[in-house]
């Protein structure tokens, strides 16, 4: 979903640039609450893995492909604020060194895939996790559903931005229908990858998963109570 230079006009790109800069500034403060000596390396690893995952375009039919966006994945693994920072680093490297996503569209891409992707994915993850049993085995399915929803949500926000500041005179209804349709299918791929990766990490090191850590702590407390009484 990397937006190139030129799709959106200058005023819209400036506004998304300000939104992205503000979001990153807040994330730098809030990520402090998510990161310590143990989880800081996890943030580097998650960002590196998402960069790699975004290189793998999978076909979704009719000559179209999609790839992992990674917002929900990052948010569940390292927390939404740290996740937004991870995605911002990935998008910065892609724009500057890989010519993937425009430099003037960097704010737009950080807003869409970093902020919207992470926070829409994380919000749905928390909602689903709240209704599922409080077990570590619920974390991966909840993350997958968060991922599934995050992609069409980001696609809708792009369409909204395009309706406001698109440079080409195109009928917005057609853009919205096509964007939502394709990105719902891509969201299924996003859900599969996110679910598998989160399940693997939860199986290996649940204590390193932001969205599972409270469940691990609870178990530890139970064991200790039983041991001391």
Partner 1 sequence: MRSRRFFVVGLLLALVVAGVGSYYASSHPDGLEFVAEETGFLDSADDPKTADSPFADYQTAGVDNDRLSGGLAGVAGVALVLVLAGGLAYAVRRRTPADTSTGPTD
Stretch 181-220 residues interacting with partner 1 (CB under 8 A): 182-183, 186, 204-205, 207-208, 217, 220
Q: Which stretch binds partner 1 (CB under 8 A): 15-23, 44-52, 127-135, 141-149?
A: 44-52
| By CB under 8 A, residue 6 contacts partner 1 | yes
Location of structure tokens 């931005």:
161
Classify burial at 218, counting beta carbons within 10 Å of its beta carbon; exposed 0-12, middle 13-18, buried 19 or more.
exposed
Give whichever of 96 and 130 is closer to partner 1, judged by the CB atom: 96
Location of structure tokens 């599922």:
132
| By CB under 8 A, residue 85 contacts partner 1 | yes
Query: Which residues from 7-26 bind partner 1, rule CB under 8 A?
Result: 7
Cβ-defined contacts of 28-33 (< 8 Å, 24+): 28/85, 30/81, 31/79, 31/81, 31/82, 31/85, 33/79, 33/81
Q: How far is the CB of 197 from partner 1 (least distance, A)?
A: 9
| By CB under 8 A, residue 122 contacts partner 1 | no
List 168, 225, 227, 228, residue binding partner 1 (CB under 8 A):
168
List 104, 123, 141, 188, residue binding partner 1 (CB under 8 A):
104
Residue 191 DSSP one-character state: H
CA distance linking residue 141 with residue 104, whole number of Å: 36
The span from the first CA to the last CA of the chain, in angstroms, equals 56
Query: Which residues from 144-163 bind partner 1, rule CB under 8 A?
Result: 155, 158, 162
């Amino acid at each position: 979903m990397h937006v190139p230079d030129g799709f959106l006009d200058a005023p819209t790109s400036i506004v998304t640039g300000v939104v992205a800069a503000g979001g990153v500034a807040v994330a730098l403060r809030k990520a402090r609450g998510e990161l310590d000596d143990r989880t800081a390396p996890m943030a580097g690893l998650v960002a590196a893995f998402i960069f790699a995952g975004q290189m793998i375009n999978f076909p979704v039919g009719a000559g179209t492909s999609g790839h992992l966006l990674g917002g929900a994945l990052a948010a569940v693994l390292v927390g939404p604020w740290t996740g937004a920072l991870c995605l911002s680093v990935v998008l910065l490297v892609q724009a500057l060194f890989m010519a993937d996503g425009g430099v003037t569209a960097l704010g737009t891409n950080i807003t869409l895939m970093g902020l919207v992707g992470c926070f829409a994915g994380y919000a749905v993850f928390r909602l689903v996790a709240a209704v599922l049993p409080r077990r570590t085995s619920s974390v991966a399915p909840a993350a997958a559903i968060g991922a599934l929803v995050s992609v069409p949500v980001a696609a809708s926000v792009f369409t909204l931005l395009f309706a406001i500041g698109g440079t080409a005179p195109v009928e917005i209804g057609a853009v919205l229908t096509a964007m939502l349709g394709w990105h719902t299918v891509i969201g299924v791929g996003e859900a599969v990858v996110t679910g598998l990766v989160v399940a693997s990490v939860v199986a290996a090191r649940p204590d390193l998963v932001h969205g599972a850590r409270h469940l691990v702590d609870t178990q530890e407390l139970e064991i200790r109570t039983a041991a001391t009484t």
